[in-house]
A and B are shown apart, each in its own frame.
Chain A
């Protein structure tokens, strides 16, 4: 039998006053309790957005990202824009936010691509959010080291 189940059964058997510790309400100001309950709810919501309903992605090699993943989800387009202007106009090619860098780590190990499937690293999230990606009309979506190997073969 499930131990949790056990506990709830036991609680149900006891008077409601005991289960809710109503005497606490008398000693601790109600405001603080409301605050604590609200905090718990918020924590729950945060945890839910992390796991529930998020697209499952094939993150390729993965590993340590150049920035915090949650931050990258929100800001990747801004840093990519900044990087692209620096690269095209100023010739700075070793920036950590380069599209090539993203693809190098996050292209699927199965097809070396970040687009094309429902769980592809870029396409997975972009389908979920219904945001069109323009990048790969011009840029290669394939891992460059894999392409180099193909050529040498």
Chain B
């Protein structure tokens, strides 16, 4: 091989190397963008059991008389907020007072997204179900409105839709003759967003996250501070944990 040939060979090598590194750099630069795009448009993968969505509610930060979470929920899901006595309620504020000590506290109460949900056990049509990622939902397409699940729920979390509804939100279909409850804002969670109540709480009392990931913020906090599940004696393993009860 002559000197010129060697020179050309060398140049080719360098060019190849350059192309390789630039393609790599481009992939690194583009990948996060594509991830964001996927998150924003909803995944085409089915949800998996590797994730379990849950919440940790810090009752010390939850202020008496504040109902921002309830308002945020009503707005997001198109609920009336209780204009008529039969209107649905997905989340409510509960205020507690220990008569002996006078200690008061407030907390939001909604579907606890149990790992062993009694509503799913009793449903005769398979309409009440738990998604692989732990969110308990009603498939209203097959709900016959028998309300067994409402009776089975120890948290009184579910409501029955008595009246015909109009102008529902495109992401939150609701209709007469079916039972409904907190969906943990499943349409937002699937887009990679937080549930409306967690986002709407200005005291940052509601922390939302993946209970199955030991490194997630919520798992670390549950490991380090004392928290309880309400009616833990029932062994339902709820996804909603309360701190400071």
Given A94-B43, A137-B175, A142-B170 in contact, is the A89-B164 Cβ separation under 8 Å?
Answer: no
Within 8 A of B (CB), among A32-63: none
Query: Which of A89, A91, A94, A139 has the largest number of chain B CB atoms within 10 A?
Result: A91
Closest CB in chain A relative to B43 CB, distance in Å:
7
Are A138 and B174 in contact (CB-based, < 8 A)? yes
Please report the C-alpha to C-alpha distance between residue A84 and residue B170 in the assembled complex, in whole angstroms. 14
Asked if A4 lies at the interface with its beta carbon under 8 angstroms from chain B, I say: no
* Among candidates B46, B167, B169, residue contacting A91 with C-beta atoms closer than 8 Å: B46
A88: B residues at CB distance < 8 A: 137, 139, 141
Asked if B162 lies at the interface with its beta carbon under 8 angstroms from chain A, I say: no
Are B168 and A139 in contact (CB-based, < 8 A)? yes
Asked if A72 lies at the interface with its beta carbon under 8 angstroms from chain B, I say: no
Binding site secondary structure of chain A: helix
B139: A residues at CB distance < 8 A: 88-89
Query: Which of A84, A86, A100, A139 has the largest number of chain B CB atoms within 10 A?
Result: A139
Asked if B223 lies at the interface with its beta carbon under 8 angstroms from chain A, I say: no
Please report the C-alpha to C-alpha distance between residue A13 and residue B82 in the assembled complex, in whole angstroms. 84
Within 8 A of B (CB), among A132-153: 137-140, 142, 144, 147
A144: B residues at CB distance < 8 A: 170-171
Please report the C-alpha to C-alpha distance between residue A56 and residue B115 in the assembled complex, in whole angstroms. 51
Are B46 and A140 in contact (CB-based, < 8 A)? no
Please report the C-alpha to C-alpha distance between residue A93 and residue B38 in the assembled complex, in whole angstroms. 11
Please report the C-alpha to C-alpha distance between residue A93 and residue B43 in the assembled complex, in whole angstroms. 6
Are B44 and A94 in contact (CB-based, < 8 A)? yes
Asked if A90 lies at the interface with its beta carbon under 8 angstroms from chain B, I say: yes
Are A92 and B46 in contact (CB-based, < 8 A)? yes
Are B164 and A93 in contact (CB-based, < 8 A)? no
Binding site secondary structure of chain B: loop
Please report the C-alpha to C-alpha distance between residue A139 and residue B41 in the assembled complex, in whole angstroms. 20
Please report the C-alpha to C-alpha distance between residue A50 and residue B167 in the assembled complex, in whole angstroms. 35
Are B46 and A93 in contact (CB-based, < 8 A)? no
* Among candidates A89, A91, A103, A147, residue contacting B43 with C-beta atoms closer than 8 Å: A91
In the complex, which residue of chain A has the Cβ closest to the Cβ of B186?
A91
A84: B residues at CB distance < 8 A: 141
Given A91-B186, A93-B190 in contact, is the A138-B175 Cβ separation under 8 Å?
Answer: yes
Please report the C-alpha to C-alpha distance between residue A59 and residue B51 in the assembled complex, in whole angstroms. 41
Within 8 A of A (CB), among B165-179: 165, 167-171, 173-176, 178
Are B190 and A91 in contact (CB-based, < 8 A)? yes
Within 8 A of A (CB), among B15-55: 41-47
Please report the C-alpha to C-alpha distance between residue A15 and residue B137 in the assembled complex, in whole angstroms. 80
Asked if B140 lies at the interface with its beta carbon under 8 angstroms from chain A, I say: yes
Are B141 and A147 in contact (CB-based, < 8 A)? no
Are A140 and B167 in contact (CB-based, < 8 A)? yes
Q: List chain B positions with a Cβ less than 8 A from chain A.
A: 41-47, 129, 131-133, 137, 139-141, 164-165, 167-171, 173-176, 178, 186-187, 190-191
| 9 pairs of residues in contact across A and B, judged by CB atoms under 8 Å | A88-B139, A88-B141, A91-B46, A91-B133, A92-B43, A92-B45, A93-B43, A139-B173, A140-B173
